[in-house]
Structure 1
Amino acid sequence: MTSPALAQQTDFGRMYSRRIGGLPEVPSITTVISQAGMSLDGWIGHMAATAVIQDKRLPEAIGNVAKLKAIARQASDAAAQYRDAAAARGDRVHGYCEQIALRGLGCPHTAAEARAELEEHGEGAFAGRFDEWWEEYQVVPLAAEVTVWNEEVGYAGTLDLVAEIGGRLCLIDYKTRGTGRDGKVKPLDPKVVMQLAAGAKAQEMIVDAEAGTWEPWKYGAEPMLLGVAIGETEVQSVMANPAVLPAYWSRFWSLRQVWGSGLKVADAGIALQPVGPPPALRD
């Protein structure tokens, strides 16, 4: 996951401050969405089992308890290792996408360096497919990696891209995705609609993170909300269905209340106090 300048990791999840070095004030959009929770037990077990099966030491470890335990210990971290590797890959791909947007905006950029980094990790195909998508969709960037704030509800986040495509104003969120058995990029999770809906409800956008200067959000005029799945074989663009946006916004608003209630509980003090027996009754 990328780390915008105003974002900080806290005991209550990722939060944003109004300026660099300031105190965290509101949760990030992704932190709010995470309040919904999702069990990963099945996936974690699958990753661990797969790691054991694919371990080249397994044949010689059969019948040897010590060696089997060593393989099991290593396999237990398989899900975390996969998650961390996927996050690092996502950061590199997002970084490249940002540099392409900066180049399109006429700003200083390091697109060549970002692509070289992807190539070094064997991930150059992501850049190639993204370049094809950028040209095919004739993307005209307006703002890249822009941090937004909603004071009324109390949250902030960073939008990957604001652009014009086909004459339409678009708010865009990139997701780096793997490739399915059919050779297609894996589809996006519908939760991306919540993320986009929250971004569209922005009230302010950052101008100078160091000074803490903000200005009113100027891209809220009925934008098209696009989720863009970036894979090694293709890039797939999907639009948030306008008819479902009120429901997804309502869900996000409710999850923000859940996050806030957790903060109140944490600050409420000791929840349970010892109680002694009553005094003995006199005859």
Structure 2
Amino acid sequence: MTTPALAQQTDLGRMYARRIGGTLEVPSITTVIGVASPDLTGWAGHMAATAVVGDRRLAHAVGDPRSLKQIARDAAGAAERYRDDAAARGDRVHDYAEQVALAALGQTHHVDAARAALATHGESAFAERFDEWWRAYGVEPVAAEVTVWNHEVGYAGTLDLVARVGGRLCLIDFKTKSLTRDGRAKPLDEKVIMQLVAGYKAEEMCTDAASGTWVPWPYGDEPPLLLAVAIAETEAVALQAHPASLPVHWRRFWALKQAWSAEQQLAATGPGLRPVPPPSVAPSTV
């Protein structure tokens, strides 16, 4: 995942400041949503087992405890390696999408370098599918990588793209996806709706990260479409967040922010359970 200029990764998750080098004040949208992260131990175990089965050293290691232990140690990190590789690929695809938008806006960009980075990793198909989607939907970018802030609830985040599609204002989030067995983009997690609606509820937008200049959110008068675009090697699929579901997803996001804040407050108070000695009993008199 890319790190916006105003964000830093901390022990509390990703946190945002009002200017570069400023005090970190509020959690990111994704950090808040992460409070509801599922238990991935089963997936991690599956990834480790798959790594063992597919290890070319396994046949020669049978009966050799030292070699088997080495294979086991290597397999234990399979899930983390997969996650990190997927995140790095996602960063490259997001960077390409941002550069295409900046070029269309007439701003400084490095489209060629971003596309070359994808090609170096054998990922050119992601750029090709993105380009097809961009042309098919007639995307007219308004702003790219927009950092937003909500004071009332207490969070910040960065929107991938604000654009007009078919004449409608849209807030767009890109997700890089791997493929299903039948070669289609894997389905998006519906938590992306919380991400989009949190962006929609922004109160301010940063116009200069270095100086910490913010302006009121300028896109509040026209209710936008909230779009999530899954970008895979074989296709790019655009999905709209159902308007009827937005209030519910917003309430869920609000509740997760309260849970995140409560965790920080509890951590600051120290242990909640303390040992209690038995009550003193006055000695009996005969």
* Fold shared, TM-score > 0.5 on shorter chain: yes
For 2:199 and 2:229, the matched residues in 1 are separated by 15
Q: 1:281 is matched with which residue?
A: 282
Output the CA distance in 2 between the equivalents of 1:82 and 1:171: 29
Q: What's the counterpart of residue 131 of structure 1?
A: 131
Q: What residue in structure 1 maps to residue 246 of structure 2? A: 245
- Give me the whole-angstrom Cα distance separating, in 2, the residues matched to 1:171 and 1:270: 42
The secondary structure found in structure 1 opposite 2:24 is: coil
The corresponding residue for 1:86 is 86
**What letter corresponds to residue 252 of structure 2 in structure 1?**
R
Per-residue Cα deviation, 1:128-162 (whole angstroms, up to 9, x for no partner): 11011111111000000000000011110000000
Deviations 1:100-136 (A, max 9, x none): 0000100010000000010000001100110111111
Match of 1:169 in 2: 169
Aligned-pair CA distance for 1:8: 1.2
Give TM-score, length-normalised by structure 2. Answer: 0.97
Partner of 2:260: 259
CA drift at 1:258: 0.2
1:14 and 2:23 correspond? no
Aligned to 1:219: 219
Question: Displacement, 1:280?
Answer: 4.7
User: Which residue is equivalent to 1:149?
Assistant: 149
CA distance in 2, matches of 1:75, 1:270: 36
Partner of 2:208: 208
Alpha-carbon distance in structure 1 between the residues aligned to 2:179 and 2:38: 22
Q: 1:188-213: CA deviations, max 9, x gaps? A: 11111110010000000001111111
Deviates more, 1:26-35 or 1:62-71: 62-71
Report % sequence identity: 63
Instruction: Tell me whether 1:229 sits opposite 2:258 in the alignment.
Output: no
TM-score when scaled to structure 1? 0.98
**What amino acid sits opposite 1:176 in the alignment?**
T
Runs of 4+ displaced beyond 4 Å: none
1:140-189 Cα distance to aligned partner (Å, 9 max, x none) = 00000000000011110000000000000000000000011111111111
Query: Which residue identity lines up with residue 240 of structure 2 in the other structure?
Result: M
- 1:270/1:46 Cα in 2 relative to 1: closer, same or farther (>3 Å)? closer
Using the alignment, how far apart are the partners of 2:33 and 2:273 within structure 1? 30
Q: How far is the alpha carbon of 1:234 from its aligned partner?
A: 0.6
The whole-number CA distance in structure 1 between the counterparts of 2:253 and 2:42 is 26
Tell me, what secondary structure is at the counterpart of 1:156? strand
Whole-angstrom distance in 1 between the partners of 2:254 and 2:58: 49
Q: Once the 2 structures are TM-superposed, how far is the Cα of residue 62 of structure 1 from its aligned partner?
A: 1.2
Q: What does residue 121 of structure 2 align with?
A: 121
Matched residue SS, 1:129: helix
SS at match of 1:25: strand
- After TM superposition, the structure 1 = structure 2 runs for residues 175-194 of structure 1, keeping only pairs within 5 Å, are 175-194=175-194
Partner of 2:25: 25
Shift of 1:12: 1.2
The one-letter code sitting in structure 1 at the alignment partner of 2:237 is Q
Q: Which residue of 2 aligns with 1:105?
A: 105
Distance 1:270 1:40 in 2: 27
Give the Cα–Cα distance (whole angstroms) in 1 for the partners of residues 50 and 127 of structure 2. Answer: 29
Q: What are the ranges of 5 or more consecutive residues in structure 1 without an aligned counterpart?
A: none
- Structure 2 runs not aligned, ≥5 long: none
Structure 1 residues 194-246: Cα deviation after superposition (integer angstroms, max 9, x where no partner): 10010000000001111111000012221000000001111000000001111
Q: How many angstroms apart in 2 are the aligned matches of 1:119 and 1:37?
A: 32
